């Protein structure tokens, strides 16, 4: 099978550490690559199968033309079910007619519908330490699907096939938020105007205005969106932690004296300052990572049997929690994953370290990495499977 692109592949020739230091959150950046290098992520037959085999409701699947949504009833039927309700069914002829007329197709969260794209999203979540959603955009016309706009998340754009024209306008407000005290000003003229070619990658930080236009030929790109943690996220986390404080749980002295209200404000400030220690960012980010959910992947038929794994040691298993955290000490290793805490003997550390990046690992190799016997390794992997942290293949 073709190798899944990594973050290092997307930002080459820039190194990952240099990307984090100089580019992420600061400026947009183009990364050129050979044509066809992303074709295996989503071949056209695979996209056709997704459209044929799934009930894709609006707005997850939608069409846009000149910045306006195309009415879904013009290309979708709602078909009654035998029991109750209706389900959407795509009407191929009017759907493709809209595409020929210049509409852009958008399909959200396609990582849930495609294994290659799902593997890409899991790998990037491991590297970026943030949840990743992948949306698809496909068009054939000369119009633009959306007017000049900014997004409240960072994004990598991967040009899978064809070409697309991008005009970058830059930011007009530093690090704007979806829920903000004010909206960014409208931008002026573009600061850059270029064609993103097949095999190219574009990184766009949150708040950078841009618009995208088809160039009269087929284009298919994926937008990989992610939202780095902010100080607002930290404050929200602290608010939950402060529920342990009696001072913060108590009613405010609305009808107290001025001195009583001033004393309460001082007490609240002291409690808050006590939480803002030098390590508060590390604690927050560790808990944010350890609470990130596992990616759903069911290893049938074996996961439904008492053995949990096939007999052969050539079987490959895959860890399903991209942002899991390992802590070692006192002869033990602690796994923080999917909002849960697991403590194992230190001998399990080599196995967990090999699994953590999410790449498939053969049971035989995992047994060779550790000092544990084959039966113990299989029992250990089976326990991870029962917890929803591991799957076959």
Distance, in Å, from the CA atom of 115 to the CA atom of 128, rounded to the nearest integer, reads 20
Residues 6+ apart with CB under 8 A from 220: 42, 47, 136, 137, 138, 159, 160, 161, 162
**The pLDDT of residue 187:** 93
Two tokens at 203? 């990184």
Give the per-residue pLDDT at 119.
94
Band (40; pLDDT cuts 50, 70, 90)? very high
Write out pLDDT tens, residues 226-246. Answer: 999 999 999 999 999 999 999
**So what's the pLDDT on residue 29?**
98
Per-residue pLDDT averaged across 160-171, rounded? 95
What was the pLDDT predicted at 67?
A: 78
Q: Does residue 144 have a pLDDT over 70?
A: no
In which residue are the tokens 């035989």 written? 364
Is-contact 142 216, C-beta < 8 A? yes
Give backbone dihedrals phi and psi of 172, rounded to 5 degrees, phi first.
Answer: -120, 0
What does residue 36 show for φ and ψ, rounded to 5 degrees? 85, 0
Predicted confidence band at 342 (pLDDT cuts at 50, 70, 90)? very high
Highest mean predicted confidence (pLDDT) among 197-206, 302-311, 355-364, 373-382 = 197-206
Q: Label residue 1 by pLDDT band (50, 70, 90).
A: low
Cite the beta strand spans of 70-140 per DSSP E.
76-80, 86-90, 104-107, 133-139
For residue 74, what is the DSSP state?
Answer: G
pLDDT band at 179 (very low <50, low <70, confident <90, very high): confident
Q: State residue 310's pLDDT score.
A: 86
Q: For all residues of the chain together, what is the average pLDDT?
A: 93
Percent of the chain at pLDDT exceeding 90: 79
Residue 27 CA to residue 206 CA, distance in Å, equals: 9
Residues 253-299: pLDDT tens digits? Answer: 999 999 999 999 999 999 999 999 999 999 999 999 999 999 988 88
Q: Is the pLDDT of residue 66 over 90?
A: no
Percent of the chain with pLDDT over 70: 99
Q: What is the pLDDT of residues 101-139, one digit of tens each?
A: 989 999 999 999 999 999 999 999 999 999 999 999 999
Strand partners, 105: 63, 138
Which residue is associated with the tokens 């053995």? Answer: 307
Q: Given this model, what pLDDT does residue 270 score?
A: 95
């Amino acid at each position: 099978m073709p190798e899944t692109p990594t973050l290092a592949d997307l930002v080459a020739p820039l190194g990952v550490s240099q990307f984090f230091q100089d580019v992420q959150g600061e400026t947009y950046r183009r990364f050129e690559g050979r044509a066809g290098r992303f074709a295996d992520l989503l071949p056209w037959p695979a996209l056709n199968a997704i459209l044929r085999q799934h009930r894709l409701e609006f707005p997850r699947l939608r069409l846009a033309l000149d910045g306006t949504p195309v009415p879904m009833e013009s290309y979708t039927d709602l078909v009654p079910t035998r029991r109750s309700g209706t389900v959407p069914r795509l009407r191929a002829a009017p759907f493709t007619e809209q595409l020929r007329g210049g509409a852009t197709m958008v399909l959200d969260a396609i990582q849930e519908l495609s294994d290659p794209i799902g593997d890409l999203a899991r790998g990037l979540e491991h590297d970026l330490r943030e949840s990743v959603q992948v949306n698809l955009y496909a068009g054939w016309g000369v119009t633009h699907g959306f007017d000049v706009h900014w997004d409240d998340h960072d994004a990598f754009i991967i040009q899978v096939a064809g070409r697309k024209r991008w005009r970058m306008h830059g930011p007009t407000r530093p690090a704007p938020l979806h829920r903000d005290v004010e909206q960014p000003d409208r931008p002026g003229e573009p600061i850059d105007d270029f064609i993103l070619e097949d095999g190219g990658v574009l990184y766009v930080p949150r708040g950078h205005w841009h618009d995208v236009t088809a160039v009269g030929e087929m284009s298919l790109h994926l937008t990989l969106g992610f939202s780095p943690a902010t100080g607002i996220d930290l404050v929200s986390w602290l608010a939950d932690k402060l529920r342990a404080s009696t001072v913060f749980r108590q009613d405010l002295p609305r009808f107290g004296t001025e001195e009583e209200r001033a004393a309460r404000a001082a007490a609240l400030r002291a409690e808050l300052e006590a939480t803002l220690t030098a390590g508060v960012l590390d604690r927050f980010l560790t808990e944010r990572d350890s609470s990130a959910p596992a990616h759903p992947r069911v290893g049938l038929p074996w996961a439904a049997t008492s053995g949990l794994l096939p007999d052969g040691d050539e079987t490959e298993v895959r860890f399903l929690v991209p942002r899991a955290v390992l802590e070692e000490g006192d002869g033990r290793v602690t796994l923080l994953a999917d909002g849960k805490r697991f403590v194992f003997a230190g001998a399990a550390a080599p196995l967990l370290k090999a699994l953590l990046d999410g790449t498939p690992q053969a049971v035989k190799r995992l047994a060779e990495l550790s000092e544990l016997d084959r039966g113990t390794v299989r029992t250990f992997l089976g326990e991870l499977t029962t917890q929803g942290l591991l799957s076959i293949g």
